[in-house]
Amino acid sequence: MDPLFDFTGKVALVTGGSRGLGRAMALALAERGADLIVASRKQEACDAVADEARALGRKALAIACHAGRWDQIEALVDRAYADFGRVDILINNAGMSPIAPSSAATEERLIDSVLALNFKGPFRLSALIGSRMAAGDGGTIINISSLGALRPTPEIAAYAGAKAALNALTIAHAAEFAPKVRVNALLPGSFRTDVAAHWPADKEANTPAFLGRFGEPEEIVTAALYLASPHSGFTTGSIIRVDGGRP
């Protein structure tokens, strides 16, 4: 095991952990020794990732949870602590990024859904787990934000605003839960996940990213491992872009 990325004996909870970037980060932690709690809306999808973690010799718990609903978040936290006794690494990855035709045509229920999943949910989950970390042996929280928070466009105005709020929350919680808990955010650009299959066919060819392509899910892994590792112990309240060099 690489001593920089050895998570043996640690417990990681990843929301939206059944696919895409969440799955890549969850399994990367399991491959390096962490026991795993996988949460997303579909139980079957969570079970599949938990089975992969168990095949690596890890303990794993799969929990169906809508990460934008506080009652389900509280049940998730209660179950995680009942089964494992603690959470050392929390990755707030669950999110949604719907496209709107215009601000005037955006419905209130869409705004509510976007804010709930991208901001209110991480707020509550970090509050519940971060306060327990701060009262105990500490830990690290990684919020998966978006480049859209820094480069907003009209069609994703609601999503960009929610992720900008998540960036602000990252800094606020870094201050609130210090010094035992570190809180940071990753800002992915365009990655080749299942979501990308619904994007326009020429989107990648026209990307302004310096690298001229989309990222692969595994290319966010090292950034997440860095923030999860105690070897990044002097990094907190940071907003780190992983976007291929977007101008």
Q: Which residues are catalytic?
A: 159
Place of tokens 């980060």: 25
Q: Name residue 146's amino acid.
A: S
CA angle 62/233/238 to nearest 5° reads 80
H or E segment and range at residue 102: none
State CA 29 to chain mean position distance: 13
Query: How many of the other CB atoms lie within 10 Å of CB of 212?
Result: 12
Round to whole Å and give the CA distance between 34 and 237: 24
Side by side, the strands of the sheet bearing 11-15 are 60-64, 35-40, 11-15, 89-92, 139-144, 181-188, 239-242
